[in-house]
Amino acid sequence: MELRLCNHSSYPRIGDAAEHQLLRRTLTQRDKGEKTDDAVRAAQDRLTELALAEQAEAGLDLVTDGQIRWDDPVSHLAGKLSGVRVNGLLRYFDTNFYFRQPVVSGQPARTEPLLLSEFKFAQEKSSRAVKAVLTGPYTLARCSVEENAGAGGFDKILEAYTAALAAEVAALAAAGAKVIQVEEPALLKYPDDFARLEGSLTALARGKDSAQIVLALYFGDPGPLYDRLQTLPVDLLGLDCTYDPSLIDRVASTGAARTLVLGLVDGRNTRLEDPDAIARQLENVARSANLNLAYLSPSCGLEYLPRDRARQKLRHLAVIRNTFLGSPA
Amino acid sequence: MSRAKLLELGIELPLFPVTAVGSFPKPDFLLKARTDFAHGNIRRGALEKSERQATEFWIRQQEELGVDVLVDGEMYRGDMVAYFAENLDGFEEGGLVRSYGNRYYHKPIIISEVHWDEPITLEWWKYARGLTAKPLKAILTGPYTVMDWSFIEYYPDRRTACRALAHELRKEVEALIEEGAKIIQIDEPAISVRPEELPVAIEAMHILTDGLPGYFITHICYGAFQNIYPAMLELPVDNFDLEMSNSQLDMLDLLKKSPFTKDLSFGVVDVHTHLVEPEPEVEQRLRRALELLPKEAIWVDPDCGLKTRTAEEAIAKMQSVVTAAKTLRNDSGK
C-alpha cells in the first residue's frame, strides 16, 4: 500500500518567533489605522509562504495554504456571499475557537470568487501539490441562522450554499486544483441528515472536472456512518480516527470503496502518537483491506495546536511512514 | 430560590442585584507594566503594584456605578485558564493558539499530576475585599474548562484529568471560604460543547462544591445550550450566569421549555461589540427575564467579562446595566 502524507487544512498563523507574529501585529496596527489593507495582505502572503515551507520541510506530499487568511471556517466563505451578513461569536463545534455566525436574510449567492486567489497564490509559491480546502455547504448551513424566514428555511439555505460552492469548486478545478477538500464536520453531529449531505455533494461534484473531491469528517466518530460513506459521490474520504480507536480496525476488516485519508494523528492534542502502534494499524489495513493507496493525515486542521507542536505533528507523519515502511508489511 | 441561602450566609441583596461577570479591561498603565515585566524591564513587585492600583480603580468604579456584588476585575490574570495553569503544579505553558479573529492565548499542557500547592486567587480576593464594604465575588475557572482548554499529555483520558483538577481546585474554594468568601463563581464556559460529557462536568462540580457553605454561581457562555438544557440544571450550584444578549435573547425560548430551577444572572449587554446599548434597550431585555423567572431569582450583569472592551465602553455598559436594574427595582417598589 502506498502511503502518502498530507496536511489536513488549517495551520497556525502565529508562533513564538517574531516573524510568526507578523500577521497579528499588522492586523492590530491596521485596526488602529497605522497600516493599510495591503500591508495585511502582504503579511498574510508571508505567513502562507512560511506555512507552505514548513509543510514541505516535513516531507508532505500534499499541502494546504494553511487557511492563514481565514478569520474562521464559516464567515470566511459565507461572509462573502450576498444575502448573508456575519454576526456574533459562536463556538466552533467542541473547540475553544469561535466563529462569527452568518445571518441569512435572502438567498445566499456567489458574486465573486471565494478562494480562488488564495489557491492560486499557494499553488504558485508551493513546491508541493496544493489541496484546496473549503467548508462544505451543509456545515455552513448548520452554522448559520435565518433572519425573518427570509431564505425559505434550512433546505433552501443549503441549496443556495451548495450552488455557491459548486461554482467555487468549478473555478478551483479550472484553475488547476487537482484535489479539493470539502469539510463537513456537522454531519457527525446530525447523522440523520445523511441524505441531505449526499444531495449537496452530488451537486457540488458536478463541476469538478478531473479534480478529486475529498470529503473530510472530523470532530466526531465517523464509524457509525462508515459503510454509507462509501456510497457518496466523492473520490476520497477523510476520517477522524481519534474518537474511536476501533475505527481503524473496521477499515481493515471491511476495506473501502474510496481512497482513505486516515486522520490517525490527533490534531487537537500535543501528545505525540506512538509511531510503532500506528504503523501496526497501517500494516493491518494494508494487509487486510487490500488498498493500493492511502493518505496519512492529522485528524483535523492544525490550528488548534501551538505552531511548534503543529510542526512536530507534521514531522511525526513522516516518522510514522518510515516506521510503516520499515515494518514487515 | 436561593435568597434564603444568601440570607443564611449574611448577605442581603436588593432585587435585580447587579454584578459583573469577572474581568474588566486593564488600564493602559497596567498593560505597559505587563509588557515591561514580560521583557524583564521591571520586577514582579512593580507589576503587582500596578495590578493593585488597577484593582482599586475598578473597585471604585463599581462602587460609584452602584454595582451590588463586586468583582476584583482580574487585573492580575491574563487568560482565564492559563492563569490557573500557571499556578498549579503539573502544567507547562504551551505556545499561542487562536481563540477567534486576531485573538490568541497560551494554551497550557498538562504534563504531570496536577497539584494545588498554595492559594491562587486568595490574596487578590482579600486585597479587593479590603477596598469595599460591599459583597465581593470570588471567581475561579472550573475544572471542566481548565481540562477542556488544556492539552492533556499526562492523564489517560479527559474524565480522569477533570476529576483530578476538581479535587485540587476544591482546595482553592475551601481556602476562599475559610477567609470569608460567601459568593463563589465557577466559570465553566466549555461545559456546553460536549453534551455527552455533561455528567463529567456535573461530577466535577460536586467534587468542587459539595458540603461547602457558599452561594455558588456558574458562568457559562457562547455554547450550544440546546444540547444540555435542562440537564445542566443538575449542576450543584445556586445561580447560572448566562450570556443572553449576544444571541438576541434567543435562549429565552429554550429556557422556557423546562422549568428553570435556579437563580439566573441574566446577561443584558453584549461584550463583543463596541456599541454601548441604550438604557431602554437594556431595560427591555431585562424585562424579558421576567417571562422566565420571578424577580427574586434574577441577577443582572453583562454577557461575559468585559476585558476586551475599552475602559470607557466597559463603564458605559455597566452603567446601562445598573440603570436598567434600578428601573425595574423601582417598578417593583423596592
Look at phi and psi of residue A210 and say left if phi exceeds 0, alpha if psi is from -120 to 50, else beta.
Answer: alpha
pLDDT tens digits, one per residue of B87-118: 999 999 999 999 999 999 889 999 999 999 99
Cis, peptide link before residue B230, omega less than 30° from 0: yes
What is the reported pLDDT for A289? Answer: 85
Give the separation between CA A253 and CA A250, rounded to whole angstroms.
5
Q: What is the pTM of this model?
A: 0.87
Domain count along chain A = 1
* Sign of the Cα pseudo-torsion (A159, A162, A166, A168, in order): positive
Instruction: Flag whether pLDDT at A127 surpasses 60.
Output: yes
What is the reported pLDDT for B248? Answer: 75
* More confident of the two residues A67 and B2: A67
Domain count along chain B = 1
Among partner residues B95, B102, B190, which is closest to A96 by beta-carbon distance? B190
Please name the helix (run of DSSP H) or strand (run of DSSP E) that holds residue B314, with its range, or none. Answer: helix B311-331
Please name the helix (run of DSSP H) or strand (run of DSSP E) that holds residue A182, with its range, or none. Answer: strand A179-183
What is the reported pLDDT for B334? Answer: 58
B150 within a domain of the structure (yes/no): no
Judging contacts by C-beta atoms under 8 Å, the chain B residues touching residue A91 are 192-193, 222-224
* More confident of the two residues B243 and B248: B243
CB B87 within 8 A of CB B114: no
Judging contacts by C-beta atoms under 8 Å, the chain A residues touching residue B95 are 12, 15-16, 306-309
Confidence of residue B244 (pLDDT cuts 50, 70, 90): confident
CATH for A84? 3.20.20.210
pLDDT tens digits, one per residue of A197-249: 999 999 999 999 999 999 999 999 999 999 999 999 999 999 999 999 999 99
3-state secondary structure of A283: helix
Task: Tell me the nearest-neighbour CA distance from A232 into chain B, angstroms.
Answer: 28
Judging contacts by C-beta atoms under 8 Å, the chain B residues touching residue A306 are 94-97, 107
Among partner residues A15, A31, A269, which is closest to B96 by beta-carbon distance? A15
DSSP character at residue B107? -
Mutation test of the interface with chain A: which of B81, B93, B97, choosing the one with the most A Cβ atoms within 10 A? B97
Judging contacts by C-beta atoms under 8 Å, the chain B residues touching residue A51 are none
pLDDT tens digits, one per residue of A93-122: 988 899 999 999 999 999 999 999 999 999
What is the reported pLDDT for A209? Answer: 94
DSSP character at residue A10? B
Mutation test of the interface with chain B: which of A96, A243, A311, choosing the one with the most B Cβ atoms within 10 A? A96
Judging contacts by C-beta atoms under 8 Å, the chain B residues touching residue A13 are 98
Instruction: Flag whether pLDDT at B251 surpasses 90.
Output: no
Instruction: Flag whether pLDDT at A6 surpasses 60.
Output: yes
CB B65 within 8 A of CB B319: yes
pLDDT tens digits, one per residue of A260-270: 999 999 999 99
B90 within a domain of the structure (yes/no): no
Domain of A230 in residue numbering reads as 2-326
Mutation test of the interface with chain B: which of A148, A270, A303, A308, choosing the one with the most B Cβ atoms within 10 A? A270
Start-to-end Cα distance in chain A: 9
Task: Tell me the nearest-neighbour CA distance from B114 into chain A, angstroms.
Answer: 17
Total Cβ atoms within 10 A of residue A195 = 9
Of chain B, the percentage scoring pLDDT greater than 70 comes to 99
* ipTM of this complex prediction, to 2 decimal places: 0.93
Judging contacts by C-beta atoms under 8 Å, the chain A residues touching residue B94 are 270, 306, 309
What is the reported pLDDT for B274? Answer: 83
Is there a contact between A14 and B100 if contact means CB atoms under 8 Å apart? Answer: no
B109 within a domain of the structure (yes/no): no
B129 within a domain of the structure (yes/no): yes
What average pLDDT score do residues B269-296 get?
A: 91
B107 within a domain of the structure (yes/no): no
Is there a contact between B98 and A303 if contact means CB atoms under 8 Å apart? Answer: yes
Confidence of residue A327 (pLDDT cuts 50, 70, 90): low
What is the reported pLDDT for B326? Answer: 96
CB A318 within 8 A of CB A324: no
Question: CA nearest A288: which of A265, A256, A262?
Answer: A256
Instruction: Flag whether pLDDT at B237 surpasses 70.
Output: yes
Is there a contact between B193 and A95 if contact means CB atoms under 8 Å apart? Answer: yes
Judging contacts by C-beta atoms under 8 Å, the chain A residues touching residue B192 are 91
Is there a contact between A89 and B222 if contact means CB atoms under 8 Å apart? Answer: yes
Question: CA nearest A238: which of A210, A266, A213?
Answer: A213
Of chain A, the percentage scoring pLDDT greater than 70 comes to 99
pLDDT tens digits, one per residue of A171-182: 999 999 999 999
Task: Find the closest chain A residue to B104 by CA distance.
Answer: A14
Of chain B, the percentage scoring pLDDT greater than 90 comes to 84
What is the reported pLDDT for A329? Answer: 42
Judging contacts by C-beta atoms under 8 Å, the chain A residues touching residue B102 are 23-24, 27-28, 31
Give the separation between CA A67 and CA B138, rounded to whole angstroms.
40
Start-to-end Cα distance in chain B: 18
pLDDT tens digits, one per residue of B49-95: 999 999 999 999 999 999 999 999 999 998 899 999 999 999 999 99
Give the separation between CA B293 and CA B1, rounded to whole angstroms.
10
CATH for B199? 3.20.20.210
Give the separation between CA A186 and CA B173, rounded to whole angstroms.
38
Domain of B313 in residue numbering reads as 3-78+120-144+156-331
What average pLDDT score do residues B271-294 get?
A: 90
B312 within a domain of the structure (yes/no): yes
B98 within a domain of the structure (yes/no): no
DSSP character at residue A35? S
What is the reported pLDDT for A148? Answer: 83
B255 within a domain of the structure (yes/no): yes
Is there a contact between A91 and B148 if contact means CB atoms under 8 Å apart? Answer: no
